[in-house]
Structure 1
Amino acid sequence: MSRYRIAVVVGSLRRDSFNRRFAQALARLAPPGFSFEQVEIGDLPLYNQDDDDDPADQVKRLKAEITAADGLLFVTPEYNRSVPGVLKNALDHASRPYGKSVWKDKPAGVVGVSIGAIGTAVAQQHLRNSLAYLDVPTLGQPEVFLKADGLFDGDGDISQGSREFLQGWMDHFVAWVELHAGRARRESR
């Protein structure tokens, strides 16, 4: 049985998304006791404040999944030097109505992969700005900006060339979640 549930938010809708594949491969580096579950964000309606009092079922589902999670893993591509609109839409839905954000106090990690030379550095910074406002304690180091070329082996796992670095990141992320989620559990008693 898992002690820590991690909600994985992938900012790409593409069927064969590098970031979706990366999220799956990265989760396999986690220790026992951690489960990673991707949450669906592609079916959310566009955020409209008029709907705050009667959100769509998809929004209710998203908020329930985030509420049930002990931590968050954001895996984002970079579109036009920022986060994809679908990811920002999910952030907005689950943070509303004002004062009812389900993101608050959920420890998070932010990573991403792209085919570009700077990886997803700018998108991650934009995402971190939003997460800071939403009061999400976000792991700062190490940062993960990777190119897709050579990242995966033939089985879809992390290739040998990146495995040690990403295992180190996962170890930091696990400790971050245990620290923050453990504190939240102690405070709720």
Structure 2
Amino acid sequence: MRIRPLLALSALTLLAACGQPAAQSPGSGTPSSATASSSAAASPSSTPAAREQPPEVTAAAQVGRCTAATLRGELKAGDPGAGQRYATLLVTNTGKANCTLYGYGGLALLDGSGNALRTQLERKPSPGPKLVTLRPGGKAGKELHWGAVPGPGEPTSGPCQPAPAKISVIPPDERTPFELGWSFGPVCQQGKIEGSAYHAL
């Protein structure tokens, strides 16, 4: 007759254990405020799991993304090679608070009237994505590379493609672009231009 109370107690203990929420570990995806919030809610700040969160997650939760409204852009020419052209897209935080950049963002070539020209933006693996925090007045860079030699099907006399007058730049994870002038001539091979992720300077 003593076996039944023991079985009942064991069953209650098992049910209580099943009702506990599963432990959550920090994610390894793109930093976001949503990830940071869910991790903080799941683990008290005194637990080892909270202390082991990647610093990118914590920083992204506390600092907003850089937007077109707070960034000023400029293009700095690099050293040209044989048929190769290089430049660094520099962005400056003109806001009054820190902001973050993470990733590649977007870029499009435009003519003088703001119409889109053929653009094939490809990602360079180095430098790759890494969270960059810009203080007011701080700068970050994005490395650009394109060809000056006509590709298949392009004219061999005269410009290989229409020369852009400016470019449209979209910061990572944003939709609103800003524009800046382009004075480097045509982008050959059907507007192919390689761009790195933004990196700290």
Verify same fold: TM over 0.5.
no
Q: TM-score, normalised by structure 2?
A: 0.21
Which structure is larger by alpha-carbon Rg, 1 or 2?
2
More strand by share: 2
